[in-house]
Amino acid sequence: MLIYKIFRRAEWEAFDTAGRTLGAPVDLADGYIHLSTAEQVMETAAKHFAAESNLVLVAVDSDALGEALRWEPSRGGQLFPHLYRPLIRADVVWDKSLPLGASGHIFPEGVL
């Protein structure tokens, strides 16, 4: 199953160059990398990146993350995927731009 991480362009470029990341400031503060399922990622974008353009959506195979991936309750009691190790470039299945349109972010075909 694919799960998703939204990066600001500068965060993505730093990750892509370094080959690993501990995530954005919110991830560092919480001690794990926040990820979302296909059903959750649109709300995540609207809640945490509402007015931001120049984002990158990254898809990760949840099975490849092993025991470092935990499903924990969060927003509205939903179980969200949280990664308790660095995300490495090899974990990324694909990355695509996530532009901001007139009525919200425009997700790549097939994600939602």
**Structural domain contains residue 72:** yes
Whole-prediction pTM: 0.94
Rounded Cα distance between 92 and 3, Å, is 10
**Structural domain contains residue 111:** no
How does residue 111 score in pLDDT terms, banded at 50, 70 and 90? confident
**Structural domain contains residue 109:** no
Q: pLDDT value at position 110?
A: 83
**Structural domain contains residue 20:** yes
**Structural domain contains residue 33:** yes
Q: Is the pLDDT of residue 98 over 80?
A: yes
- The number of distinct structural domains making up the chain is 1
Structural domain range at position 23? 2-101
C-beta of residue 81 within 8 angstroms of C-beta of residue 37 = yes
Tell me the H-state helices in 1-112. Answer: 9-18, 25-30, 38-48
Average pLDDT, rounded, for the chain: 95
Would you give the DSSP letter of residue 103? Answer: T
**Structural domain contains residue 94:** yes
Residue 31: which CATH number? 3.20.170.20
Secondary structure of the chain: what % helix, strand, coil (to 5)? Answer: 35, 40, 25
How does residue 74 score in pLDDT terms, banded at 50, 70 and 90? confident
**Structural domain contains residue 84:** yes
Average pLDDT over residues 75-91: 95
